[in-house]
Amino acid sequence: MFDRRAPFLPRVFAAFFAFAYGLSAAIPAAQAQGRMPVVRDAEIEALVAEYAAPILQAAGLSRSGIEIVLVNDHNFNAFVAGRRIFIHTGALMTAETPNQIIGVIAHEAGHIAGGHQHRLREQIARAQTMAVVAALLGVGAAAAGAAADIGGLGGAGAGLAAGGAEAARRSLLGYQRTEEITADRSAIEYLERTGQSGRGMLETFERMAGSLALAGVNTDPYQLSHPMPRDRIANLKVLVEQSPHYSRRDPPALQLRHDLMRAKIAAYTAGRNAVDRLFRNDPNGLPALYGQAILSYLHGNPRDALNRIDRLIAAQPSNPYFHELRGEALIKANRPREAAEAYAKAISLSPSSSGLLRVGYGQALLATGQPDLVRKAAAELKNGLAREPEYVNGYRFLAQAYGQLGDIGAAELATAEGYFHAGAYRDAKMFAARAQTKLKRGSPEWLRAQDIIDFRAPRG
Ligand SMILES: [Zn+2]
């Protein structure tokens, strides 16, 4: 499963922190509007969680409920908002080694552990006050100029306002530069403590500085919303090279999983040329084959896809995600019973027991249309969604399963849940009210519907 249609409602300030702590200065329009295209995928989530776990522990954050959210965006970016670390699929695909992404996660963990967001909020308030005062002064001067009818002074007033705003902005960016350096140092510490090299982080930042220079953007550090100046990289290089772990390489098995992930992202988001380009040095390797299998599943005929998937499974029989892909291809080939078996196999092999795999399993069972299997589908979907309540698209299948079983009240409640977790509260309340007319008053389902009806949407 690589679901790109999963909507996500970031909490307050997400767009701003993307600006403040993102690795790239660009904020995609969707993010600025407060909605991000989030990717849900069991394989990628499990791998990135493994990358993050030791780092979060070293940062003292393993019990802080830090969540990693994958954003469907081809730009290289990662940023923090609240307890979430957002990582673009573009960053995962571009990073050549696990170590490069681990370095990025370490840097972002440094921002969280340092409490930078909280203090930044205070800085914003101060800067806003400065800007407001400057604007008032400017207006005052402009008004005075106009009243005295002295040519030119009105213009000076406007200039004063702009200058004040510029000073406020520079003060904010200066503050931000300090925090970037602090986050770099924390990152190096976490990598050191976990016996990992900082080389990947350095490589990533060097590449970003290089691409900024290549793009010919203004390199005045104050003009860059995310500073990546040469002195920052030079300092980092010295520290990274001092580490006894500097030359340590990622284990080959982890590198392979990383490359399989890159192949998957390339196949789903960028197409055949991207897969070919990524693995041109190893066109017959497992990652290239994985990418091709996904491409045939998406665009070719299911038989081709299944042939390739069987080769993948022959090479790695206990890779749960090859069985998951087989399940998806079998659903597409209209062989739902075999698809359900493939998903069951994937679940039995998956150490993370992801709710997403269970939703896939439920979807396959549902597709059989056989009442006993549809009943099982409803149970699996419910189970999967209990683990992944924010996986909005799963509720559609749950509603279908209940609908086929003739339980209309439960189907409407599932629909209400889907809307609720997508942030469409009006539709959620409408379906919850409809569900209540069919549910037994006071039952757990009825009470849940009441919770949705009573829910008051957070502002902002
Ligand atoms: Zn940063």
Q: 85 C-alpha vs ligand 1 centroid, how far in Å?
A: 11
- What is the CA(22)–ligand 1 centre distance, in A? 6
Which segments within 220-378 are labelled E, that is strand? none
Using pLDDT thresholds of 50, 70 and 90, give the confidence band for residue 76.
confident
Q: What pLDDT does residue 215 have?
A: 53
pLDDT digit string, tens, across residues 36-60: 788 999 999 999 999 999 999 999 9
User: Given a cut of 90, is residue 124 above it in pLDDT?
Assistant: no
Tokens 């084959």 correspond to what residue? 289
**pLDDT grade for 23, boundaries at 50, 70 and 90:** very low
Mean pLDDT of 206-215: 67
In angstroms, how far is CA 172 from the centroid of its own chain?
26
Average pLDDT over residues 339-349: 97
What pTM did the predictor assign? 0.81
Compute the CA torsion angle 148, 153, 158, 162 (nearest 10 deg): -140
The CB density around residue 417, as the number of other CB atoms within 10 Å, is 24
Q: How far is the CA of 108 from the centre of ligand 1 (A)?
A: 6
With 50 as the cut, is the pLDDT of residue 151 above it?
no
**From the CA of 456, how far away is ligand 1's center (Å)?**
34
Average pLDDT for residues 273-297, to the nearest whole number? 96
Q: What is the mean pLDDT of residues 262-278?
A: 96
Q: Quick one: pLDDT band at residue 354, thresholds 50, 70, 90?
A: confident
pLDDT band at 246, cuts 50/70/90?
very high
Q: Quote the tokens at residue 66.
A: 């830090």
210 Cα–ligand 1 center, Å: 17
Q: In the structure, what pLDDT confidence band is assigned to residue 405 with cuts at 50, 70 and 90?
A: very high
| Residue 350: other Cβ atoms inside 10 A | 21
Q: According to the model, what pLDDT value does residue 427 have?
A: 95
CA of 272 to the centre of ligand 1 (A): 33
Which pLDDT band, with edges at 50, 70 and 90, does 28 fall under?
very low
Q: Which residues have CB under 8 Å from 458's CB, separation 6+? A: none
The CA 372 to ligand 1 mean position distance, Å, reads 52
Measured in Å, residue 67 CA sits from the centre of ligand 1 at 17
Centre of ligand 1 from the C-alpha of residue 220, in Å: 18
CA of 188 to the centre of ligand 1 (A): 13
The confidence score (pLDDT) of residue 164 equals: 63
* Amino acid, res. 440: K
195 token code pair: 């016996």
Instruction: Assign 126 a pLDDT band (cuts: 50, 70, 90).
Output: low
State in Å: Cα 383 to ligand 1 middle. 38
The residue with greater pLDDT, 139 or 13, is 139
Rounded to the nearest angstrom, the distance between the alpha carbon of 23 and the centre of ligand 1 is 6
Phi, psi of 243 (to 5 degrees): -70, 140
Asked whether the predicted pLDDT for residue 9 surpasses 50, the reply is no
Residue 72's identity, in one-letter code, is N
447 CA from centroid of ligand 1 (Å): 44
152-175 residue pLDDT tens: 444 445 555 556 666 766 666 666
- Element containing residue 188 per DSSP (H, E): helix 153-193
- Phi and psi of 217, rounded to 5°? -75, 160
Distance from C-alpha of 44 to C-alpha of 315, rounded to nearest angstrom: 20
Task: Give the pLDDT of residue 332.
Answer: 94
Cα 100 to ligand 1 centroid, rounded to whole Å: 15
**CA distances for 222 relative to 120, 152, 164, 173, 216, angstroms:** 17, 29, 15, 7, 15
Mean pLDDT score, 251-268:
97
Residue 263: pLDDT band with limits 50, 70, 90: very high
User: What is the chain's mean pLDDT, rounded?
Assistant: 83
Mean pLDDT of 254-269: 97
Q: Which of 92, 84, 88, 90 is nearest to 109 (CA)?
A: 84
101 alpha carbon – ligand 1 mean position (Å): 14
pLDDT at 106: 96
State the distance from the centre of ligand 1 to the C-alpha of 112, rounded, in angstroms.
10
How much is the average pLDDT of 73-98?
Answer: 89
User: Which helix (H) or strand (E) segment is 147 a member of?
Assistant: helix 116-148
- 227: pLDDT strictly greater than 70: no
State in Å: Cα 4 to ligand 1 middle.
Answer: 26
C-alpha 41 – ligand 1 centre gap (Å): 26
Ligand 1 centre to CA of 126 (Å) is 21
Q: Is the pLDDT of residue 417 over 60?
A: yes
Give the pLDDT score at 12. 33
Output the pLDDT for position 38: 86
Task: Give the strand order in the sheet containing 36-40.
Answer: 3-8, 36-40, 67-71, 84-88, 78-81
| Token pair in block for residue 5 | 């249609």
pLDDT over threshold 90, residue 408: yes
Ligand 1 centroid distance, CA of 111 (Å): 7
Which residues lie closer than 8 Å to 95 by C-beta, 6 or more apart?
A: 101, 104, 200, 204, 258, 262
Ranked by mean pLDDT, which of 22-31, 66-75, 99-108 comes out on top? 99-108
The pLDDT value given to residue 3: 78
Burial 5-26 (b: 16+ CB within 10 A, else e): ebebebeebbbbbbbbbbbbbe
